[in-house]
Structure 1
Amino acid sequence: MKREDVKAKIPGITDDQLDWLMGENGRDVTAEKTKAATLQTKVTELTGQLNTAQEGLKAFEGVDVADLKGQITQLQNKLAVQADDFAFDSALDGAIRDAKGRDVQAIRGMLDVPALKASKDRTADIKAAVEGLAKEKAWAFDAAAAGYPNVKDGGEPANKPTGSTRDLFAAWAGQMFQ
């Protein structure tokens, strides 16, 4: 709004009245310009966000969601199998160690591991299998049954050997096959 246009439209307006009217108009115009600038800033920000989102979505064009769900299911199944295998291995190795097995891997080789894995009551079946093996093949465990030689596979510095391992074995074999 221009001063000349106001004087032409309102004849007889005083300069004080015109100053007041122009001041009020200026404040209104400034307030609206501030609002418009704020809204323009928001529009610019939202346009940038929209462009970023659209660029991100382009990475998913042509992606088969059903295939991804299938892959996720396969990975979850593999993870469940691995967790089950780990739990089984821990239980079996723990049972062998509890029975004082000398070589965990060797003793595992003597057991029917697939049958134990398929067992409904793994804990009891593992324990029973290891205990049965300890009775049947006591030589694989620290507590050897009577009649088996107790041959140490390591030395103790305080002990004085009473004979070689060959002599101990020969003595044992002589007793077993008489």
Structure 2
Amino acid sequence: MKREELEAMGLAKDAIDKIMDLNGADINAAKAPVNQLQAQVETLTGQLQTATDGLKAFEGVDVNSLKEQISKLQSDMQAQKEAFAFDSMLDGAIRDAKGRNVKAIRSLLDIESLKTSKNQAEDIKAQLERCQSENGWAFGSDDAANSGLQTAATGAEHGTGGTVGTEDGVEAAFARLNPNLKID
């Protein structure tokens, strides 16, 4: 509605001013929701553009291939976890059996059969007992004859030598060669 149209109808100026004020208030009241909706449309348009740009990064990606890779990685991680648990159990059992060298003792065991065993703890114990009886040298045994090691070398087997717990053989030989020299 325009002022000229109201004047053409023959209305008084005061009446026209009041009508124009009421009409302006109605127009402004109607503009507020339109402005809010326009701002919402602009926000949603920006979000849609951001989402569209983000989806472009995934163009050409084979989702099934990614699922297969994830599945493979999960199974690899499970296998590593089981291998670590087995190695820890075996190394602990070797240490408990007073093994002198874990790596050497592991080489004497049938590791593959132990890995696939249903009762690993019992089978490890049995193999370690068998290995200990066959290879006593590899374990910290108190029985010197079983280990095959001499308890003390005195040098007596090579002629004149000392005994364990007495003076050093080098010092004794030096003293015999130099009787007048005192060593403190």
Partner Cα separation in structure 2 for residue 127 and residue 20 of structure 1 = 105
- CA-CA distance at 1:151 after TM superposition: 6.2
Pick aligned residue for 2:118 from 111, 117, 120? 120
Describe the superposition over 1:116-157 as per-residue Cα deviations: whole angstroms up to 9, x where unpaired. 0010111211122223222321211112445135569xxxxx
Report the TM-score when normalising by structure 1: 0.74
- Give the number of the structure with larger relative contact order, counting CA–CA contacts within 8 Å between residues 6 or more apart: 1
Residues 96, 107 of structure 1: 8 Å contact kept: yes
RMSD value, Cα: 2.7
Aligned partner of residue 129 in structure 1, secondary structure: helix
Residues 97, 128 of structure 2: 8 Å contact kept: yes
- CA-CA distance at 1:20 after TM superposition: 3.5
Pick aligned residue for 1:66 from 27, 51, 64? 64
- CA-CA distance at 1:72 after TM superposition: 1.7
Between structure 1 and structure 2, the one with the greater Rg is 2
Pick aligned residue for 1:109 from 107, 110, 124? 107
The 5 Å alignment of 1:151-162 reads: none
Describe the superposition over 1:98-118 as per-residue Cα deviations: whole angstroms up to 9, x where unpaired. 112111111111111011001
Report the TM-score when normalising by structure 2: 0.72
Unaligned runs of 5+ in 1: 153-161, 171-178
Cα distance change of structure 1 residues 13 and 99 upon mapping to structure 2, 3 Å threshold: farther
Cα distance change of structure 1 residues 124 and 20 upon mapping to structure 2, 3 Å threshold: farther
Q: How many residues align?
A: 157
Partner Cα separation in structure 2 for residue 52 and residue 13 of structure 1 = 56
Unaligned runs of 5+ in 2: 159-184
